[in-house]
Amino acid sequence: MRFYLKLFVSPLIQQVITPTSMYVGSSDRTASAADAALLAARLPNLVEYVTVEDFAHCDFFAAKNAASSTFSRILAKMDELNR
């Protein structure tokens, strides 16, 4: 992903003005924690960076415990930012 970030993402990602939360799975093999940290460092309006233990890439939408592990926190942050 470091190669991809340098070629395609870096110039555009620095223009994102939307408040952004990043949720990173500690067991993710698709996007490593190091790559997620590189991306997070380039986001100008990062409001939250959360590592979810024992989650892989697809667990954020497919895991049986996705709702209890992440959804409520995501919705709470959205409510907070929309006040």
Per-residue pLDDT of 21-77, as tens digits, reads: 999 999 998 888 888 888 899 899 999 999 999 999 898 888 888 888 888 899 999
Q: 0.75 cut: is pTM over it?
A: yes
Output the pLDDT for position 48.
95
Which residue ranges make up each domain of the chain? 2-81
Please compute, for residue 66, the number of CA atoms within 13 A of its CA located in the half-sphere on the CB side: 12
DSSP 55: -
pLDDT value, residue 34: 86
Looking at the DSSP bridge assignments, the partners of residue 24 are: 51
